[in-house]
Amino acid sequence: MIKLLVVDDQKDMRELLKDFFKQRGYEVFLAGDGNEALAKVEEIKPHLVFLDIGMPGLSGLEVLPMIKQKYPVTKVIMITAFDDAQKMEQAKSLGASDYITKPFSFEYLHTTVLNKVYAQLFEEIIKAYERLNQQTIQMVMAFNKAVDARDPYTARHSEEVCEIGKRIAEGLKIPITQDLIFSLQLHDIGKIGIPDSILLKPDKLTDEELEIIKQHPRIGFEIVGVLDGFKYVAEIIYCHQECFDGRGYPRGLKGEEIPFEARIIAVADTYHAMTSDRPYRKALPLQEAIARLKKEKGTQFDPLVVEALIRVLSSP
């Protein structure tokens, strides 16, 4: 259980904070002066201390460095009756994490004070979690680069598709969100689960091989879906091979059922594939690629997305 120590010479202030935090599952201890506070810190080793600045005897500003010297990881929030910027700056220089102003209303406790407690107690956990999640993202990105690197003809494919997709978003005058960027970059990550004999085959695929390669959106969905905050990105990846008229895979979604970001990927991915060299053909000229996109408006592709790409390709 998280242990809080409330240090204040006013009994009603101590009891108010004690009742408030006990109701929320914290273990709360009280001290009425600086000496009692130091003894309690030694005894219970609290996670967080509320420390009144203006106590008789040892003041909060005298007690604070004594706590921080012996227990540097203990968080200390100062209590003050005045919003004194100079004293708060002094307290901060001595190791205080934050401050609150008394007297307390219930609303102030429920919003400001509680939020400050969360921020201090969970700051290190949040930072560690963010580092871990960032490392996981970097690992997934490395996997994605490995997918592109398997075939010299698709090297940098994901990066190029991402750039095309961002240009389409600009043409549509919509925000270039992190979800869009990540889904563009990772749309083909599921191909890491497709055998080289199929993925790199220079000849036409058999029906059985086509069914295997059609598994890559689902595989990508399962890989990316485990990342915290990436559920929608995973859904976009799952849908990037759907067709506007419902003839796509894996679920046969159509029109507005397909996430808009997936409709952008469909156009960007196909355009890049058509304008890149492949083992079985050379890159198509720009005008021929555009003609093919126009032909599939309303069937394979969202017409709005196709028109946006054509606009940006035509602009200087």
Report residue 309's pLDDT band, with 50, 70 and 90 as the boundaries.
very high
Q: Does the pLDDT at position 47 exceed 60?
A: yes
What pLDDT does 232 receive?
94
The whole-model pTM stands at 0.59
- Evaluate whether the domain defined by 130-314 bears CATH number 1.10.3210.10: yes
**Comparing C-alpha atoms, which of 280, 256, 277 is closest to residue 201?**
280
CATH 3.40.50.2300 assigned to domain 3-121? The reply is: yes
Segments making up each domain of the chain, as ranges: 3-121, 130-314
pLDDT at 264: 97
Cβ count within 10 A of residue 12: 10
* Beta pairing, strands 98-101 & 3-7: unpaired
User: What distance in Å separates the CA atoms of residue 126 and residue 166, rounded to the nearest whole number?
Assistant: 31
pLDDT tens-digit readout, 140-161 = 777 677 666 666 656 688 889 9
